[in-house]
Chains A and B, each alone.
Chain A
Amino acid sequence: MKNSIKILAHFNTPFTEERNVLFLRIGVLIFCLINAIHNVTLLEYCWGEYKMSPTLSLGKFSSNFVNLLNEGGEGFAILLIIIQLLCLVGAIFLKYKRILTFVAYLASANLINSTYLMNSGGHHVILLILFFLSLINEGHSIVNSWSNAINKAAMLAIKIQVCMIYFISFLYKIIGQSWLDGSALWQTLMLDEYTLPIFKEIFVSNHFLLTFGTYFVLAYQILFPILIWVKKVRKWVLLCGVGLHLFIAFGMGLFTFGIAMVVAYFAFYVPENKISFKWYYKPSTRA
């Protein structure tokens, strides 16, 4: 009973993760900037005359909001990219954080859903983070207020979502033979699109390393949702994760996924430093 009360009372305590939110906002902005450069380079393949990708075509209700680019349209796509980036920058510097982030979310959803085939899981990670960020206004953190409670719930949602990714991914892997017999990493590096020729040369003959790597991924995915809540080991868990995701980004070539997961880690930890972020809008509204 005491524990339940403690959990419920958590939503009344002041929101103290402003720095995490700021790093998340900057991380998402950098991801969207990289994605925008990709998209502009591929403009005619994404939305123009030579449109390549079929659309995600989500449910009817959301069609009016997040599938507006299904028929293509380079001009409209560029407009959405500009809106997305401006809103993300605005959400860092201005006080209308919720509305600006939500507009950025809608613009991003339209851009991402219409280029489904060229996306990775990273795009979905960023979309989900953006949605939850659109519920957060770190400037509104008056104790016992609804705004504060929503901030706390949304931040918790981002953390649970990251844990969920690992947990679900683990469930899929443990029903696969190649993961259980330790050959999955070798098999991945033998696939043309998920390898680098130099990696193949170095790793493919080293069976011990590849088997260890396979089981490490399995162990990491099931242990992350548990250990990340333990403050003492959190930093080390995230450090392992950064290594893993940089390997995925550069070694396996899933650049956007690797970077998106590293961005998501800011929900759990931001490095301490002496930067004061004076330019960052943060009114003192605490009671």
Chain B
Amino acid sequence: MKEVHFPYVKGLIMICLLTFHFTCTYFYTAPDTFNSVKLEIISARYINPFFHQYWALFAPNLPEYNVVIEVSDKEGVWRNISREVLENHYAFRITEKGRLALAFTGIARSAAWECAVGRVNENDPEKYQHILKDLCRGYLRMNSTDNLRIRLTKYDLYSVKEGEFIF
């Protein structure tokens, strides 16, 4: 029997797969302005399990404030965690210190925003405050039941104090 040879079938299949994959990637990652909600939900089913990605750091707008984290146990002496993690981050640029600093500052900013705005997450109105508490407890090697108070002080980009939250 003569073998039928389709020289371009491989190319056609590869092009179809690539087109499908990157069309889904686009709808999963693109900003709402250039996206369709329906297609975003559909493509999430394919992309989310194995190809999750997010490319909106520093965009569309950057944060307009810094947050200083201080922690205290019952006795009320405040310890400035921000200074500790940031000084390590500045001094040891390529080490794991940077990852700690980014985790702390990112969550602290979200927690300050949550405190200022009120209910941000319907299911867990204090979501970021809880995550920050877990982070601080881990950093201080405390048990999850230990008492811990956190004071967040918000400064604008010119270092003018804008607000303070204790939880």
Contacts and interface: CB of A to CB of B under 8 A. Distances in A.
B7 interface: yes
A75 to B, nearest CB: 19
Interface string A250-274: 1001111000000000000000000
A222 interface: no
Interface in B119-167: 131, 134-135, 137-139, 141, 157
Contact of A255 (B18, B33, B98, B141): B98
A150 B102 CA distance: 38
Contact of A38 (B29, B34, B95): B95
Interface string A152-196: 110011001100110011011101111100001001101111001
Interface residues of B, number: 63
Contact of B93 (A50, A109, A188, A253): A253
Contact of B22 (A11, A146, A152, A164): A164
A9 interface: yes
Interface string A44-59: 0100001111101011
Nearest to A156: B18
Interface in B13-61: 13-15, 17-18, 21-22, 25-26, 29-31, 33-34, 45, 48-61
Give the interface size class of chain A: 35 or more
B81 interface: no
A120 interface: yes
B93 A250 contact: yes
A131 interface: yes
Given A121-B54, A168-B29, A173 B139 contact: no
B7 A128 contact: no
Contact of A168 (B17, B18, B55, B107): B55
Given A42-B96, A131-B51, 15 more contacts: A7-B15, A11-B10, A12-B10, A38-B96, A118-B100, A149-B14, A153-B18, A164-B25, A175-B59, A177-B60, A178-B61, A179-B60, A187-B62, A190-B66, A256-B99
Interface of B: 7-8, 10-15, 17-18, 21-22, 25-26, 29-31, 33-34, 45, 48-64, 66, 82, 86, 89-90, 93-96, 98-103, 105-107, 131, 134-135, 137-139, 141, 157
9 contacts: A5-B8, A9-B11, A42-B99, A62-B48, A144-B10, A164-B22, A168-B31, A188-B58, A250-B94
